[in-house]
Chain A
Amino acid sequence: MSACPGKIDAAFAAARQAPEPPGGKRGRLRVGIAGDFGEGLCTIVEEGKLSIGVYRIGGRFYAIRNVCPHQGAPLCRGRLMSTHAPGEVHQYQPALQGRVQRCPWHGWEFDVPSGKGLYDDRARVKTYRCEVDAEGVLWVEI
């Protein structure tokens, strides 16, 4: 029986580490009042050509670039779903529940908190740091 980790295991390991994105160098965008955002929903904010999807998942806020690295589709307009982690043959291990963004064009999977593509060890989409200030306003740093 194989237990040899492959590229997909590496992708999931990277997704689960989900490092905090670095702070923005250009400034920040106002997203809205944090308390207004429902769990599991995505809001798209735009600044010039920049388009970012902001999510509330498990009570925390995450943001990813709204562009699929494959063919440039509006990634965040796909469905936010769960996936299966790599496991034994013919066994199913639900994983990364409610935090996997599927691209609306070709269905490629990205873990939102980490931006990690789950189909390859190297693929990722850019992530942005989110912040809620003392007044309860949600900002995304760019």
Chain B
Amino acid sequence: MSTTTLSPRRIIDCDVHCNHSIESPDGLDPYIPETFRTAMELFMATRPSHGYRNPAGQVHRSDCDYRSAEGFERDHLDRYGITFAVMQPQPTMDYGLIHNADIGTMLCSAGNDWQVDHYLNRSERYLGSICVNMSDPAGAVREIERLGDHPQMVQILAPGEALLLYGHRFYHPVYEACERKGLVFALHPGSEGSFRSSTPVGRPSSYFEWHTSLPQTFMAHTGSLVAEGVFEKFPGLKVLLTEGGYGWLAPLMWRMDKNFKALRATVPWLRELPSTYIRRQVRLTTQPVEEPANPVHAMQMMEMIDAENTLCFSSDYPHWDFDDPFRAFPSRTPEALMERILWGNAYELYEKKLAPLMKARETEGAAR
């Protein structure tokens, strides 16, 4: 079977975006608590920006209706036969970057409730992300407690930009809560450059250069999560790195494993090779998928990271750098591997929440 033709596959799309404004009545306005309304009038919800702009003026595709759930379903879910799509609401995912921690935490809650009302309650095809303010770990834990048992909430979502590298002990209470609730900890880029430069050596001059630099953040966070013992301390935690591609992971693992042999004594809590923790507890999404001139190289890179067990499909719909599930991968990708990427790996990642949803679906199908 050709992988480039539409076929009745099962697909989990691990990264799609819905958007809202704060002020409008169909946005977050109804979700702002009375006690914070004055703070909002006083412009206390300000946050820094990275300062780059897509040359199209917007990051959204102009050929689809992404603003309404109806459009979302017609132009994406139905068009591609997406079984489940994991929502990453914007800009809620970046509210942790708001200068004022109280406002950031409050707006994360407002955006999460908006997401539940506008998408999750509408259809069980939508899976949700609990956006948290990582700059306020106690507030983040409260939000995980508040929404973690929602049957469609599958993960916690944090931006690539952060006060500290994500392995730091400051964040460990969040990971403890994720592990306890069986929720994935997901990262999404896009805000890099807000607190400091998106590269460690200076600010890029162009959107092109900034966008290309985004995997650097994921490399840094992944190294930190391993070295600071997060995977040793929370062996049940799973981390999903979305929208970072995957081509960078193999060299990072090799470098970490090599350094570990010399420098293990400085991180003595690590009981396994760094790559062992990564293969066990880190998953990646595909988009923006690397497209080497020789497609054989893409296949080799997948093999290097054990893609059969680590790689999950994502489209990033409705953004400009969207990947089509049937066109983004080399046509020679084996069917069994495509099944793992489009379905199996993500299903296993979210199984705690997906198994009951699938069962309900089967029961419903049988009743018809």
Q: Does A1 contact B (CB under 8 A)?
A: yes
Which of under 10, 10 to 19, 20 to 34, or 35 or more describes the interface residues of B? 20 to 34
Interface string of B267-278 (1 = CB under 8 A from A): 011111100100
A4 contacts B262, C-beta separation under 8 Å: no
A85 contacts B268, C-beta separation under 8 Å: yes
B265: A residues at CB distance < 8 A: 83-84, 109, 118
A8 contacts B271, C-beta separation under 8 Å: yes
Interface residues of A in 33-88 (CB under 8 A from B): 70, 83-88
A9: B residues at CB distance < 8 A: 271
Residue from the list B229, B235, B263, B273 in contact with A4, Cβ < 8 A: B235
A106: B residues at CB distance < 8 A: 261-262
B261 contacts A88, C-beta separation under 8 Å: no
CA distance A88 to B234 in the complex (A): 12
A5: B residues at CB distance < 8 A: 271
CA distance A85 to B276 in the complex (A): 19
Q: Does B232 contact A (CB under 8 A)?
A: yes
A2: B residues at CB distance < 8 A: 232-235
Interface residues of B in 241-295 (CB under 8 A from A): 260-266, 268-273, 276
Closest residue of chain A to B229 (Cβ to Cβ) is A89
Q: Does B29 contact A (CB under 8 A)?
A: no
Which of under 10, 10 to 19, 20 to 34, or 35 or more describes the interface residues of A? 20 to 34
Task: Name the distance in Å between B170's Cβ and chain A's nearest Cβ.
Answer: 12
B150: A residues at CB distance < 8 A: none
A107 contacts B271, C-beta separation under 8 Å: no
Residue from the list A1, A7, A91, A93 in contact with B271, Cβ < 8 A: A7
B228 contacts A8, C-beta separation under 8 Å: no
A107: B residues at CB distance < 8 A: 261-263
- Known A-B contacts A1-B233, A8-B264, A107-B262; the reply to A89 vs B269 at CB < 8 A is yes
Closest residue of chain A to B230 (Cβ to Cβ) is A89
- Known A-B contacts A89-B228, A89-B233; the reply to A108 vs B262 at CB < 8 A is yes
Task: Name the distance in Å between A111's Cβ and chain B's nearest Cβ.
Answer: 12
Q: Does B169 contact A (CB under 8 A)?
A: yes
CA distance A7 to B262 in the complex (A): 15
B268: A residues at CB distance < 8 A: 83-87, 92-93
Q: Does A25 contact B (CB under 8 A)?
A: no
A85: B residues at CB distance < 8 A: 268
Closest residue of chain A to B277 (Cβ to Cβ) is A6
A83: B residues at CB distance < 8 A: 264-265, 268
Task: Name the distance in Å between B17's Cβ and chain A's nearest Cβ.
Answer: 35
Q: Does A26 contact B (CB under 8 A)?
A: no
B264 contacts A119, C-beta separation under 8 Å: yes
- Known A-B contacts A4-B235, A90-B229; the reply to A118 vs B271 at CB < 8 A is no
Interface residues of A in 1-43 (CB under 8 A from B): 1-2, 4-9
Interface residues of A (CB under 8 A from B): 1-2, 4-9, 70, 83-93, 106-109, 118-120
Given contacts A86-B271, A89-B233, A109-B262, 16 further A-B contacts (CB under 8 A): A2-B232, A4-B235, A7-B272, A7-B273, A8-B271, A84-B266, A84-B268, A86-B270, A88-B269, A89-B229, A90-B228, A91-B269, A93-B268, A107-B261, A108-B262, A119-B262
13 A-B pairs, CB-CB below 8 angstroms? A4-B271, A6-B272, A83-B268, A84-B265, A84-B266, A84-B268, A86-B271, A89-B228, A89-B233, A90-B169, A90-B228, A106-B262, A109-B262
